[in-house]
Amino acid sequence: MIFEPFQSFMPSEFQVKFAASRWEREQAHALRRIVFCEEQGIFHGDDRDAVDDYAIPIVALSMLGVAADRVVGTVRIHEEEPGLWWGSRLAVDTEFRRVGDVGATLIRLAVSSAHAMGCSVFLAHVQEQNELLFRRLNWTVVDRISFHGRPHVKMQADLTHYPPCFSPEHGFVALRRRAA
């Protein structure tokens, strides 16, 4: 009997950390293009902008045992002025949006690592459909705006719920949710 490779593998955990290698950064940008250009049609061709020149990319990696398999989520953070940090371009692969806390863990590491680097205010322009997720993660609405031609909510993280993370190169682990 010949066995075909198991093609529906779903990792049980994800490492969320600062992107450290070239392949992590390249896959993060590729995922952003898929989500923001192809899937959502917000940008044409590429979503890169001047912020990418100095932003810190964060990735969620699916894990095959102890080895990283691929980037399944990403977000970037940057300091706009001393103490004022922004998160942007949160993207999670469609296959992984409902299997675990990938998006929430990306948000937690984004805010906690900025907090460790002196953040006193952390903001994001959140797509309207994601507002509830951010509210559940202790964010408040600052304003409702149109951003890139779409309804967004300018939100602020409550830093008291995000203890500083001083080792973002190791990051956090997000676990797969158990089947109900």
C-alpha 107/C-alpha 32 separation (Å) is: 16
Question: Which residues constitute the domain of residue 92?
Answer: 13-171
C-alpha 112/C-alpha 175 separation (Å) is: 18
Percent of the residues in the chain that have a pLDDT greater than 90, as a whole number: 77
Residue 38, domain member (yes or no): yes
Q: What are phi and psi of 36, to 5 degrees?
A: -90, -25
Residue 3, domain member (yes or no): no
Any idea what DSSP says for residue 170? T
Confidence of residue 177 (pLDDT cuts 50, 70, 90): low
Residue 34, domain member (yes or no): yes
The model's pTM is 0.90
Residue 145, domain member (yes or no): yes
Please tell me the predicted confidence (pLDDT) of residue 9: 55
Number of domains the chain is built from:
1
- Is 50 exceeded by the pLDDT of residue 159? yes
Residue 86, domain member (yes or no): yes
